[in-house]
Amino acid sequence: MSCASCAVNNEKALLKTKGIINANVNFATKNAYVEYDTDILNEDKVRRIIIENGYQVETRSMEHGTHNKKTQIKHGEKIHIEEAHKHGNESMDKTWRAFLWSAVLSLPLLLEMFVKIRTKIFYLNIDLVMWAHLILAAIIVFYFGWRFHKMALMQAKKFRSNMDTLVSLGTATAFFYSLWAIFNNQKGYFETAALIIALILLGKYFEAKSTGQAGEAMRKLMELGVKKARRVVNGAEEETDIENVKIGDILLIKPSEKVPLDGEVIEGGSSIDESMLTGESLPIEKEKGDKVFGGTINQDGVLKIKVTQTGEGTVLAQIIRIVEEAQGSKAPIQKLADKISSIFVPAVIVLAFIAFISWYFTTQNFSIALINAIAVLIIACPCALGLATPTAIMAGTGRGAKSGILFKTGDSFERAKNITMVVFDKTGTLTIGKPQVKKIIPFASAASGQESYKEDKILKIAASLARYSEHPLSKAVIEYASSKNISLAEFKNIKETRGKGISGVCAEHNVPILLGNKKLMQGNNLDISSTDEILSSGELQAGTPLFVAHGQEIIGAIIIADEIRNEAPQMIKELKQLKLKTAMITGDHQATAQAVAGELEINEILAEVLPDEKTSEIKKLQNKGERVVFVGDGINDAPSLVQADLGIAMGSATDIAREAGQIILTQNNLEKVIEAIKLSKLTFKTIKQNLFWAFFYNIIAIPLAMAGLLNPIIAAGAMAFSSVSVVLNSLRIYKK
């Protein structure tokens, strides 16, 4: 595709086809994402739509390192659209060679502008030098520039136009007018036609080269994959292609080798460089039972791993898919550029005609009128409009992926433009997410006034019930009981109440037991006066209380605390420097929440919020006019991540495909929240700059050309480098 109009034309052709639900064609990446109804269409029919539209669908082997398959056109997958003469680096090299030959052959024509050399030898009343000019210009315009004419003819057959139409019209008009002129003993413009082609080819080369640099991060991700693996079968090693490895196979990884696929360490220990996944430069120590991921680098030990994921299931493949989809998507701001691109070329042709008529009737000079009209055709640049958004998105997503920040869609950047508040889930986000028992507080018996249960007894009752729950607080109780070698009792009639706690009946004594917060006790009609004492005392500063009820009496409280992340205070400080409000949302009691928020100096506290109430709390903030970023740590936060104006999901690499946020952090590091917000704002700012300069260039340049203030050769040079300047501006994202 040669310009934004090509992308718009392909998109329209796809979307007007019955059975196609959604289509998104990206000019910068030359990709289309097509979603269609398989009851109406199949892959071949979708391909045929594009081919009949004048383009080719490239079928190529896609290697993500962990898999090797043919490109398919199915839900969520991609097809690759390119002109017949473009194939990756070969196309770029071909364009460079075409420019070099065009430039060399243009030199004699350029010389004609300064020195008139003639042989005085004539054929058909034309000097041989002019015949040479004619032949050289024909070679440049119709051989090296054939790509432009070919695509223009394809577009004309369908009564459409694109950038190639402008180039073809301008150069062909200049050539054929010059042909007429030399046979009528008038001044020709062969050098104009030839130099326009040469300069535009040079611009196309630099555009392809710089756009390729914007996608460098994507290529580096794809190169991380491993093609071979050392498999252990019956105690013997064998080298095999990665495609032959199956889940459950045992692989041997030696020092300095890449981990071929995701797996679990079953033997050995080593340091693993996971920077390609997380952006964290420090190696991670791995030992038996730890998970390792394909594409990471084993540094100093020998490992045996059991493969747990292959192909599309690996973390690397998922990251590549997310980055690909983000780079192929469009930011909402791109819609304006697409609308303008759809009418841009026809409008320029009309303006060129107006310029010709105006100049001809004003000067009565056909030559001057024609040259100014050609300048209008050549100076216009729809390419810059088409590249403005996708190149910035490519650079932003590429830089993010390198740092362990995955942007799922192009609108992630636009969502960050007017944010006012950042809301954090507490457990697992602001805190490490591994609660520990800090204290056990026995309560006096209501009947005797004495302590009726010792700490170990309370712990045994609580842990016996807690083992039936997967909640982090329950796990903390179980781990603490295990460290104390507490034997556990059997329970029946287990019931877990979301956001409150768990209940059951002791099988041995047939006594109902409760383990949970004040709401659980209150809901079971227990005397909660003892809980109020704890909740209003200084004991609560230590952490979150879990109350234990035996029968109809609350017998004690287990205080559980979660350590605040080391980077959290500095992160909150930096958010305030960015003039963003901060809030914390938690199911903890108000006093516990205040203790954490006070230490971090968070502006607003939303405490005692049940998991299914988080989303409504986000809505309330939005209704007050806040533009909310929600930062959560897992699947439980999915509804809130979706509801927020911008959702940032913190989680381990294994969770990346399941998160609902627009941005995924592949490591639990709050510093990445700041980086993600800053990168989002920088990328969107760059998109706006690109669109401004693309519009500004055309708004200023076209009137100048119509006014006769631009020579067509200068116009060609300006047009050729306008799109390059947009790409170079996008590449600055990497450096900031």
Q: Active-site positions?
A: 425
HSE, side-chain direction, 13 A CA sphere, residue 551: 6
Between helices 216-223 and 190-214, what is the axis angle to 10°? 50
Scanning 292-420, the segments in alpha helix (DSSP H) are: 315-328, 334-363, 366-379, 382-402, 411-415
Residue of 548, 530, 578 lying closest to 674 (CA atoms): 578
Q: Strands 122-123, 491-497: parallel, antiparallel or unpaired by DSSP?
A: unpaired
Question: What burial class does residue 16 get, using C-beta atoms within 10 Å of its C-beta: 0-12 exposed, 13-18 middle, 19+ buried?
Answer: exposed
∠ Cα 103 108 114 (to 5°): 115
| Separation of alpha carbons 323 and 408, rounded Å | 7
Element (H, E) at 130: helix 128-139
Among residues 26, 48, 46, the alpha carbon closest in space to that of 35 is found at 46
- CA–CA dist 468, 686 (Å, integer): 52
- Name the H helices within 647-706: 671-706
Phi, psi values for residue 96, rounded to 5°:
-65, -45
Residue 581's SS3 state is: strand
- Which value, to the nearest 10 degrees, does the dihedral of the CA atoms of residues 205, 207, 209, 213 take? 180
Contact present, 486 and 460 (Cβ < 8 Å): yes
CA–CA distance, 321 with 382 (Å, rounded to integer): 29
Helix (H, G, I), strand (E, B) or coil at 77: coil
Torsion of CA 67, 70, 74, 80, to 10 degrees: 110
All residues at 6 or more sequence positions from 208 whose CB lies less than 8 Å from its CB, including other chains: 91, 92, 95
Q: Is 465 helix (H, G, I), strand (E, B) or coil?
A: helix
Rounded to the nearest 10 degrees, how much is the dihedral formed by the CA atoms of 272, 275, 279, 281?
A: 70
Q: Which helix (H) or strand (E) holds 598?
A: helix 590-600
User: Residue 246: left (phi > 0), alpha (psi -120 to 50), or beta?
Assistant: beta
Beta strands in 512-622 (DSSP E): 512-516, 544-550, 553-561, 581-585, 604-606
First to last CA, the chain: 30
Long-range contacts of range 165-170, CB-CB < 8 Å, 24 or more positions apart? 165/345, 165/349, 166/345, 166/348, 166/349, 166/377, 166/378, 166/380, 167/196, 167/197, 167/200, 167/377, 167/378, 169/349, 169/352, 169/377, 170/196, 170/374, 170/377, 170/378, 170/712
SS3 call for 437: strand
Contact present, 716 and 378 (Cβ < 8 Å)? yes
Q: Six-digit token pair at 139?
A: 């070679």
Contact yes or no for 549/568 (Cβ under 8 A): no
